[in-house]
């Protein structure tokens, strides 16, 4: 079996019917209307005997938001497939020229209980990070996750993590029962690597606190971090639906109950097509009569802040601690 045909069956792309439902929620489709740049285009290309080299632009354009996965009626693992195809391509052509550095050895620290991975975007904002840690204080211990962030970035670029580092990381998590990870890209991988560990998003964890939930207003647009949400969609769709019903806030969800992504959390690979995150943000806000945007992801927050006339905060800022 060739690599490509193995990829076909592992992720179920041979089951693709070409129904096109995955396009309806795809930000790349929304901005380009080009089937070749979507999950549907990729699965059809594979079915017709094509390989990753035939979908270079398509693979680079995908922001791995995961919106296409839960809606696929045939159950194709679209995110797994895209990630794998990127790795296939990187193997054949070598890593992309500006691919992320990484590969240092694991810190060798042993964590236990609940740990918090703030992710690279939050780590860069000291005051937000400090605030987030205070909110989580009783719940989670901070974990120095720079290395795992670098690993995630490399994986997104199509480079499989170094097996040694991965092994060390898994070992260091031996006593951990829950990981709160702000970077939703990591969720599916953490669940694969650490099947016994519960993986939750930062937003979901904060919203378990009644005082934070109470601070949400009916005029807020709550911006769900798309990648983590889609990685555990069947559970989270109900969680956020309850949030909406209880608080009256709006969500960045589509009629398919997927989270409309800005694409800002993605480390987009070099290629001719890039999702315009501001344009996505404008569409999310369009005619929604929103007074304030509350974002789970720091990257999303930054994008919304570029749009004039609207207050934007991070979910951690819903509660100010004296």
Partner 1 sequence: MNTANISSPGLYAETLAKGAIPADHVHPDSLKGIPRRQTNPARWNGEGWDAFVGALRAKNVEVREKKQTCLVYATDCGGLAYGRPHGVTLAGSAEQISAILKEAQKRRVPVTVKGGGLTTEGESVAFGGLQLDMRGMNRVISVDGKNMTVRAQAGIHWHTLAEALRRDGLDYLSAPLNLTASVGGTLGVGGIDINSPRLGPSADQAVSLQVVTPTGEIRECSESENPELFERVLLGYGQFGVITEAVLRVRKFTPITMYYFYYGSLRDALQDLQLLVREDAADYCGILTILDKAINLLVAFDSDEREHAFFEKWRNRIRGHGEPGFALRMAWHYGLRPWRLGEALYLLGRKRALEPAFKPGQYMENGKIVDRAVVFGNQVWKFWGGRQMVIPDLAVNAEKFVEAIERGNAVCRKYFPRYTLYCVGIKLSGRRQRYELSCVPPDAVDFAYGCEFEPLLGDAIYSREYLQTFKNEIYDIGVDMKTSYYRFGGMMKGYIRRAFGDELVDKHLAMKRAADPAMILNPDVIF
Which residues sit at the interface with partner 1, rule CB under 8 A? 15-21, 23-24, 33-36, 41, 44-45, 48-50, 54-55, 71, 73-74, 237-238, 241, 245, 254-257, 286-288
Indicate which single residue of 8, 46, 59, 64 sits in contact with ligand SF4 (rule: CB under 6 A): 64
Residue 27 interacts with which of partner 1, ligand SF4, none, CB < 5 to 8 Å by class: ligand SF4
**Where in 52-174 does DSSP place strands (E)?**
112-117, 141-142
For every residue of 167-207, DSSP letters joined together read HHHHHHTTEEEEEEES-THHHHHHHHH-TTSEEEEHHHHHH
Gap between the Cα atoms of 264 and 162, Å rounded:
26
Pick between residue 3 and residue 32 the one whose CB is nearest to ligand SF4.
32
- Strand-pair partners of 223: 295
Cβ proximity to partner 1, 48 vs 192, nearer residue: 48
Q: 103 touches which of partner 1, ligand SF4, none (CB within 5 to 8 A by kind)?
A: none
35 contact, one of partner 1, ligand SF4, none, CB 5-8 Å limit per kind = partner 1
Nearest CA among 263, 203, 264 for reference residue 236: 203
The residue (of 68 and 179) whose beta carbon lies closer to ligand SF4 is 68
Q: Which stretch binds ligand SF4 (CB under 6 A): 34-42, 173-181, 196-204, 312-320?
A: 34-42
Give me the least distance between CB of 71 and partner 1, in Å please.
Answer: 7
Please pick, from the candidates 59, 79, 100, 151, the single residue that binds ligand SF4 as defined by CB under 6 A.
79
**Residue 187 · residue 228 · CB < 8 Å:** yes
Judged by beta carbon distances under 5 to 8 A according to partner kind, the member of partner 1, ligand SF4, none in contact with residue 98 is none
Site size toward ligand SF4 (CB under 6 A) is: 28
Q: Does residue 72 bind ligand SF4 (CB under 6 A)?
A: yes
Residue 178 to residues 86, 140, 194, 246, 257, Cα–Cα distance (Å): 29, 9, 10, 26, 26
Sign of CA dihedral 75, 269, 115, 244: negative
Return the structure tokens found at 226. 């798309």
Among 4, 38, 265, 290, binds ligand SF4 (CB under 6 A): 38
8 A C-beta contact, residue 139 and residue 180: yes
Among partner 1, ligand SF4, none, what does residue 288 contact (CB within 5–8 Å per kind)?
partner 1
Helices (H) and strands (E) in the chain, counts: 18, 8
- Please state the φ and ψ torsions of residue 302, each to the nearest 5 degrees: -65, -40
Which residues contact ligand SF4 (rule: CB under 6 A)?
Answer: 16-22, 25-28, 38-40, 43, 62-68, 72, 74, 76, 78-79, 82
């Amino acid at each position: 079996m060739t690599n490509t045909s193995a990829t076909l069956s592992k992720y179920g792309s041979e089951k693709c019917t070409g129904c096109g439902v995955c396009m309806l929620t795809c930000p790349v489709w929304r901005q380009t209307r080009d089937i070749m740049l979507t999950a549907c285009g990729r699965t059809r290309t594979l079915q017709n005997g094509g390989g990753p080299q035939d979908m270079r632009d398509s693979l680079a354009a995908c922001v791995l938001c995961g919106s296409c996965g839960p809606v696929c009626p045939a159950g194709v693992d679209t995110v797994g497939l895209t990630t794998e195809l990127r790795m296939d391509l990187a193997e054949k052509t070598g890593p992309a020229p500006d691919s992320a550095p990484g590969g240092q050895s694991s810190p060798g620290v042993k964590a236990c209980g609940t740990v918090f991975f703030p992710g690279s975007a939050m780590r860069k904002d000291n005051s937000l990070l400090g605030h987030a840690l205070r909110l989580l204080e009783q719940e989670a211990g901070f974990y120095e996750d720079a290395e795992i962030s670098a690993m995630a970035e490399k994986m997104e670029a199509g480079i499989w993590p170094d097996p040694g580092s991965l092994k060390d990381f898994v070992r260091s998590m031996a006593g951990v029962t829950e990981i709160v990870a702000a970077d939703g890209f990591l969720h599916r991988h953490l669940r694969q690597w650490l099947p016994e560990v519960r993986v939750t998003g930062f937003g979901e964890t904060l919203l378990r606190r009644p005082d934070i939930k109470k601070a949400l207003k009916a005029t807020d647009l709550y911006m769900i971090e798309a990648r983590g949400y889609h990685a555990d969609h069947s559970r989270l769709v109900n969680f956020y639906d309850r949030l909406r019903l209880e608080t009256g806030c709006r969500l960045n969800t589509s009629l398919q109950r997927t989270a409309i992504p800005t694409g800002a959390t993605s480390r987009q690979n070099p290629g001719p097509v890039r999702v315009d995150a501001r344009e996505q943000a404008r569409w999310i806000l369009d005619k929604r009569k929103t007074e304030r945007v509350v974002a789970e992801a720091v990257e999303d927050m930054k994008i919304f802040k570029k749009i004039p006339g609207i207050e934007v905060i991070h979910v951690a800022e819903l509660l100010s601690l004296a």
